[in-house]
Amino acid sequence: MSLVGKKAPHFTAGAVINGEEIAEQFSLDQYVGKKNVVFFFYPKDFTFVCPTEIHAFQEKLAEFEKRETVVVGCSTDTEETHLAWLTTPKDNGGIEGVTFPIVADTAKVISMNYGVLGGEYSFNSDTKTWSFAGAPIAYRGTFIIDKTGIVRHESINDFPLGRNIDEYIRLIDAQLHVEKHGEVCPANWEEGKAAMKATTEGVAEYFSTN
């Protein structure tokens, strides 16, 4: 089930903040009423595609901040593993220099609630045992959550497929435009391009000038 248009699932978990400090009770609730959130999942620390994405988010952090948006990462690794990776130099496969929060979903509950866990648990009523099929790590899920705590966008990539970070900036621009002007954003819309009114006349006007 898609989360778009719904309240983002609540959680409280450990996280590393500012690249160096473990926070035991981290929650996205702190941003409600204050900031938009890009909440993204990645499969594992100390891997290959993941650090390229995390560094790419960090490189665009100022662009997100200009849009009153915070970036928060999450994987099923522990806070201690996150911290070790955050103190490993970039040229040695680490993510040193990353400052946005990275959440530790060690119980995998956050990943399940957001629908990005790469497998499923099942219970055998005969043997009274649980089993897991699939990969017990998160897909590359990305969620844009507005200031009211509502999910406005979600996308999920398979493990080998890295994200385009600029697309999330474009989507935030679109959401902010809708909120400010009450217009809708057509295909390939970017900041500065024409949007349109959500009416038949608005569509006709858009196509007559574009």
Which residues are tagged catalytic? Answer: 50
Strand partners, 72: 39
How far apart are alpha carbons 22 and 103 in whole angstroms?
Answer: 10
Token duo for residue 82: 């996150």
Closest CA relative to residue 35, chosen from 4, 74, 70, 71: 70
